[in-house]
């Protein structure tokens, strides 16, 4: 896996374009300046979570006795399910969410699970597991995907006006198709490595 493919995978999993309508609906009661501050805070929380799983994920795998081929195949299955939801979204969006009625959102649902959800956590663990010696490189890939995702979400209102609901849906489905191919490749790689052991 290259840095570019790792960053692309994470960007697709974070699905910023698919999350734009959800972010806008949750942050609608707040002023434009307040929205930007909330998004920036939630993005920083998400980055901390992803970096934690990137560097501590291998220890979790070792403690649970999970092999790399198993993680690769399982990650492919999870990504495939996420990709299917991106292509065929539910009424509530790709990820179900609920906003707190008595205060601005904190951690849930914006940082987790919309940005650093289970699939993103599993993906960073998978990336680190592919070559732990390149930890710094993978951290750069995570940061790049996070930065691009944050940029898209910061410009959510502009993207929403420019692309419209149909445009955002089309981009989300296109990302879902690309993610489906990546997921199938991951599953096949995991199965092949398992039988090669």
Distance CA 118, CA 49 (A): 11
pLDDT of residue 177: 87
What confidence score (pLDDT) does residue 182 get? Answer: 80
CA distance 160 to 167: 8
Of 191, 171, 141, which Cα lies nearest the Cα of 2? Answer: 141
> In Å, how far are 78, 108, 125 from 100, measured between CA atoms?
28, 9, 30
Q: Which distant-in-sequence residues (6+ apart) come within 8 Å of 193 by Cβ?
A: 68, 69, 72
- Residue 175 pLDDT: 78
With a cut of 50, which residues of the chain have pLDDT below it? 92-101
pLDDT tens for each residue of 28-68:
889 989 999 999 999 999 999 999 999 998 787 788 887 77
Report the alpha-carbon angle 159-164-168, nearest 5: 70
What is the pTM (predicted TM-score) of this model? 0.75
pLDDT reported for residue 91: 56
pLDDT score of 186: 80
Q: Is the peptide bond before 113 cis (omega within 30 degrees of 0)?
A: yes
Give the per-residue pLDDT at 44. Answer: 97
SS3 per-residue string spanning 88-141: CCECCECCCCCCCCCCCCECECHHHHHHCCHHHHHHHHHHHHHCHHHHHHHHHH
How far is residue 29 from each of residues 19, 48, 99, 162, measured CA to CA in Å?
17, 27, 12, 21
């Amino acid at each position: 896996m290259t840095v570019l493919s790792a960053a692309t995978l994470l960007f697709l999993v974070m699905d910023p374009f698919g999350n734009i309508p959800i972010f806008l609906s949750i942050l609608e009661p707040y002023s434009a300046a307040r929205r930007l501050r909330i998004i920036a805070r939630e993005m920083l929380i998400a980055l901390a979570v992803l970096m934690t799983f990137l560097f501590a994920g291998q220890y979790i795998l070792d403690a649970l006795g999970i092999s790399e081929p198993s993680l690769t195949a399982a990650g492919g299955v999870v990504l495939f399910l996420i990709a299917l939801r991106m292509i065929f979204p539910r009424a509530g969006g790709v990820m179900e969410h609920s906003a707190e009625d008595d205060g601005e959102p904190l951690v849930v649902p914006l940082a987790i699970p919309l940005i650093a959800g289970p699939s993103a956590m599993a993906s960073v663990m998978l990336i680190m597991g592919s070559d732990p010696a390149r930890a710094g490189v993978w951290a750069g890939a995570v940061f790049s995907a996070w930065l691009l995702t944050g940029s898209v979400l910061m410009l959510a209102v502009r993207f929403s006006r420019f692309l419209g609901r149909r445009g955002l849906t089309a981009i989300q489905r296109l990302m879902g198709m690309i993610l489906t191919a990546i997921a199938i490749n991951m599953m096949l790689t995991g199965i092949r490595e398992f039988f090669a052991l």
